[in-house]
Amino acid sequence: MLRACIVVRETGGLAPEYVMRFDLPTLPRVGTYLSVHRPGAPSHQGEDLIVRQVWWRLKHPDKQAASRSGADGIGQLDDVIIECAKAIGPYSSEEWRSELIEAERQGLDVEAFDVERPAFVLERR
């Protein structure tokens, strides 16, 4: 498992709004759709996100540039940051969807998943 930090951008902007940490089997790529389920929400609904950037933060023990001999120390992973935009998706909770629709009405750019909401999700309401 790889521990990663998911940073959710403010609606329609680039500034971070909140952060969540996850243990993931693999890292999502730019463009990947994520849906985060929170306690209290129906099991099929959550906060839908689209991955916009993946930042790898590395640290290295040497202050100098690496030498050609390869005798320098070995660096390691410091953190992985997955930057996401809020989106309206097929599994968006009603609260999430309402917040983003209101943001659109106010002229903010809101992303949407490029898929239709599956019928079985509508039946569970």
- Note the pLDDT tens digit of each residue in 4-55: 999 999 998 899 999 999 999 999 999 999 999 988 877 788 999 999 999 9
Return contacts of 118-122, CB within 8 angstroms, 24+ apart: 118/90, 121/44, 121/45, 121/90, 121/91
| Top-confidence residue, 9 or 64 | 9
80-124 pLDDT, tens digit per residue, is 999 999 999 988 999 999 999 999 999 999 988 887 655 555 443
Cα angle 24-93-112, degrees, rounded to a multiple of 5: 75
Mean pLDDT value across residues 54-79 = 80
Element (H, E) at 80: strand 76-88
Contact 7, 81 (CB under 8 A): yes
Whole-model pTM: value is 0.81
Sequence ranges of the domains in the chain? 2-61+74-123
pLDDT at residue 61 tops 90:
no
